A and B are shown apart, each in its own frame.
Chain A
Amino acid sequence: MLSEKALELIKELDRSKDGKLPAFNEDIIRKVLEEMNTLFQQNQRDVGEAAAGEIRYFPSIHLRHAALDRNKRCLLSYLYNRLERIRTMRWEFGSILPADIRANLCEPEIQWFNRYNKNLASYMRSLGEAGGLDLTQDTKPPKNLYVEVRCLRDYGEWEVEEGDTVVLQKDTTHYLPLAACHHLIRQGVLEQVE
């Protein structure tokens, strides 16, 4: 069946919607491109004869052309879908991706990610007049100025804005201003206690 391999790519992405991004399937992409080239060459041969007036080649030319279009569409949507997921990860994880996710990206995707980072950073810097606004912070409406947090790991001493130091030992709870410990919560050192 024509275009079966291309459909496999789409199915792979569909199956992994909730989990992590699967590894870049270079193998299948190469096979799809091979199929496209074969179809195209077959078409080239037949077009020569069809132009000479042989009508019976028309349906097969159309069919191959439709298969070529479909392959191209599947490939492009595979790529685009992966890029969308990578973009979501930028907003979740920040500008540096964890190593296990990086392993699943191919080299052009990593380059795209870096370029997206740069673009986003220069946009955020250009907002307002004094250095810009970091849009990846403040994802939830602020509820409280201070939060109760529990330490998950030993972190040592931590200095809060007003100058008091807090010792972050494992399993101790503290009442700290949200702005100060926000990024520690994201890193996983502190955990918010409901």
Chain B
Amino acid sequence: MSDNEEDIIEGSDEEGEAMTASEVLQKLEEAWITERMSPTLEKHQSELVDCMLDQINQMSENLKRCKKYDFRLAIHKMEIDRIRYVLSSYLRVRLEKIERFAHHLLEKQTNLSNEDLSILSPQEAAYAKDYASSLEAHFQNLVLQHVPENLRTFDRGKMSVKPNLDSYVFLKVKQATPGVLLEDDTGEGRDEEVDFKEGSQYLMRYKPIMELLQSGAVTLI
């Protein structure tokens, strides 16, 4: 398949690191699986998304120019469909999480010191703001206006939904990491230290491995 890709695509590497189209797709698929399995919103990958969208558009253009060699045309169309599905699904999952955790995410966003640490892409941040304010306006309009004075405020702290960082996830270890500290949740002080061997798979709570996930030492499966 990658031969056919190189065949029709002209100039596929646009980014500074010059990744090939298939590498971008690979990374996008990983991000897609992680996003679906994770209980919280992961960091945005808008460069991958933009790059892939560009690729799809380019491929569609090239296909239009090609003559009707049914076989190759059909295969490339299927590839485009598959990539578009992965992209759509990835962005949809993110939108769902943004809508569910809107207030919580916006609060985190305003407390950020550095733009690069943002989990939301700029478009997603704008979407989240508008969604949150439309919710508040709706509540205000229908209920809070008519309620006695001392209850009129929309208490954001109480109303926000926080992601459950203690939910269990399956993970696979990519880089061996000795001494991962697992805090005991029954509060009896039985903290465990586990050595992660490369290639092994675990089922555990999301919270202890959150940072390892971000550094790339483990992946969710």
Contacts and interface: CB of A to CB of B under 8 A. Distances in A.
A119 interface: yes
B72 interface: no
Contact residues of A: prevailing secondary structure: helix
A138 B148 contact: no
Interface size class of A (residues with CB under 8 A): 35 or more
Interface string A57-78: 0000000000011001001100
Interface string A19-53: 00000000001000100110010000000000000
Contacts of A98: none
A126 B131 contact: no
B78 A142 contact: yes
B192 interface: no
Interface string B119-142: 000011011001100110011011
Given A116-B131, A119-B127, A138 B88 contact: yes
A184 B68 CA distance: 25
Contacts of A115: 130, 134
Given A72-B147, A135-B92, A145 B134 contact: no
A83 B138 contact: yes
A119 B81 contact: no
A40 B148 contact: yes
Interface of B: 49-50, 53-54, 57, 68, 74, 77-78, 81-82, 84-85, 87-89, 91-92, 95, 99, 123-124, 126-127, 130-131, 134-135, 138-139, 141-143, 146-148, 150-151, 159
